[in-house]
Amino acid sequence: MPTKILKFGGSSIANAERIISVYNIIKEKPKTYDYAIIFSALKGVTSNLKALAKKASRKKKYDSELNDLIVLHMDCVDQLSFIKNKKMEESLDRIFNDLKSKLSSIYSKNHLSSKDLDKIFSFGEILSTLIISNYFNHKGIASEQLDARDVIVTDNNFGNAFVHYQRTYAKIRRYCSGKKRLQIITGFLGATLAGETTTIGRNGSDYTATIFGAALNAKKIEIWTNIDGIKSANPNLVENSETISDITYEEAMELAHAGADVIFPPSLIPALYKNIPISIRNTFNPKNSGTKIYKEVKNKEDAIVGISSQSDISLVRLQGAGLVGVKGTIGRIFSSISKEKINIRLISMAFSEHSICFAINPKYNKKAIEALKLEFEYEIKNKLVDQILLEKNLSLVAVVGEGMRKNPGVSGRVFTTLGNLNISIIAIAQGSSERNISFIVRNKDISEALKGLHSEFFDNQDKTTDVYLVGIGNIGGELLKIIK
Ligand code: ASP
Ligand code: MG
């Protein structure tokens, strides 16, 4: 049975050339196949399938997009030079015909259910694993396609189905025992007990990888993607951000929540429970050892491992003398917000109980305010609650690290750094896990805040620079102004 799980995402298999790079990584491995591989759909395919299904359901023409999708896969097959394989050609024909008939039934229904969409989604992973398993066989790696719908059992919450772990684990173990060939597994897909196709959430292939890893008690899970690993800060905003070499599951989850989208937190759960280390590796740079995620990172002195951030969030604030000492207010606020299915990103309430604020995605601004106005209609009318305020164009920052528990003064350093940069902090939250200090600043300050914090915690260089200026003419004068 496989003792190691590898997963390659869409960007790692964008086209034939990329698939060959994956093969080059795989061919180095022993032919005993003590590992199994999960694949996503080819890059962009899942989103394109969704767009196709939507078009069909609105009775719009979709032939040209459908053709693009077919051509994308056929180009891949042609360039991987095994098109002569008759069986393969027949399989592709059958899959494309199935896809066409499914789309035309959506077209006639003039409606797209999440159940139908999951069925449409499944074509992406079915196609990618069919092509790759054939290519690998052609290159002498004895492999076979494993349709995860045969082993991953879920409920019928289409689009984001809940996995029945025990049933699934037993099925995976039974399926894999005694298999001699390399298993090429469809990511993202599952099925209900009744056999209906489900998906386990967008970007769910990572989750498929940890599910297989946990089922097989794997020693290791490798997630192959298009960057070196989890970064110490958003590289688009902080040029000298570094790849984090070691990180705990909890730290990885804390970072991922606030915008570092290398791995989706729920995907970690099966690995975390079975204590299986996960490595994030770069298909484009396989020599780099990437980021290793595991339970306990020993001998780590650093106070923080990374800073994550998310721009464009809004803050809702409810305040008023009538909130002080009144029980049940918080319950009312959050149940009215949750009824609107609005996700809350950060909460802060002062000891005075006079005000409470929470951060949300700005697309919910209107809904959130309306829900609260309705819920607190009586209190607003009677001046127990002042107006409900909304602040826009804000950014969320989270400074993360297990080390802050042992190193007092981390929050002092965070806020001193921001103070020295003259950046004002709109709201703060620190969970008692002492692993994460989160706060909100204005969008316009985010880049400077991240750079400042990154250099405070990650730069080891001497931070003092002495400048001597001899004689102040025009140029020297200008220089002084700039330095000032
Ligand atoms: N293909 C699916 C998606 O794009 C699953 C994955 O890529 O992990 O969401
Ligand atoms: Mg993907």
Q: Of all protein residues, whose CA lies closest to atom 5 belonging to ligand 1?
A: 203
- Cα separation, 258 vs 435, in Å, equals 13
Q: Which helix (H) or strand (E) holds 126?
A: helix 114-138
429 φ, ψ (degrees, to nearest 5) = -145, 130
Atom from ligand 1 closest to the CA of residue 207: 8
What's the confidence (pLDDT) of residue 48?
Answer: 98
Distance CA 151, CA 143 (A): 18
DSSP string, 188-236: SEEE-TT--EEE-STTTHHHHHHHHHHHTT-SEEEEEESSSS-BSS-TT
pLDDT at 328: 87
pLDDT, residue 362, reads 96
Residue 32, pLDDT score: 86
Report the residue among 46, 128, 262 best suited for mutation to probe ligand 1: largest number of ligand atoms under 8 A from its CB. Answer: 46
Ligand 1, from 189, 197, 205: best to mutate by most atoms within 8 Å of Cβ? 205
Q: Which ligand is nearest to the CA of 199?
A: 1
pTM to 2 decimal places: 0.85
Q: Residue 201 CA: which ligand 1 atom is closest?
A: 9
According to the model, what pLDDT value does residue 81 have? 77
d(CA 462, CA 464): 6
**CA-based nearest residue to 206, from 7, 410, 367:** 7
Ligand 1 site residues, Cβ closer than 6 angstroms:
9-10, 40-41, 46, 124, 187-188, 202-205
pLDDT in tens, 213-239: 999 999 999 999 988 889 999 888 898
Residue 208 CA, closest ligand 1 atom number: 8
pLDDT value at residue 461: 56
Please enumerate in sequence order all residues whose Cβ is within 8 A of that of 228, keeping only pairs 6 or more positions apart, or say none.
Answer: 243, 280, 282, 285, 288, 290, 291
Confidence (pLDDT) at 403:
86
Atom 7 of ligand 1: nearest residue by CA position: 203
Question: Relative to the alpha carbon of 128, which ligand is closest?
Answer: 1
Q: Which stretches of the chain drop beneath a pLDDT of 50?
A: none
Tell me, what's the pLDDT at 414? Answer: 95
Answer whether 231's CB lies under 8 Å from 288's CB.
Answer: no
Which residue carries 């400074």 as its tokens? 399
| 436: β partners | 400
**Strands of 427-430's sheet in order across:** 344-349, 355-360, 306-319, 389-400, 436-442, 427-430
What's residue 482's pLDDT? 87
What pLDDT does 42 receive? 97
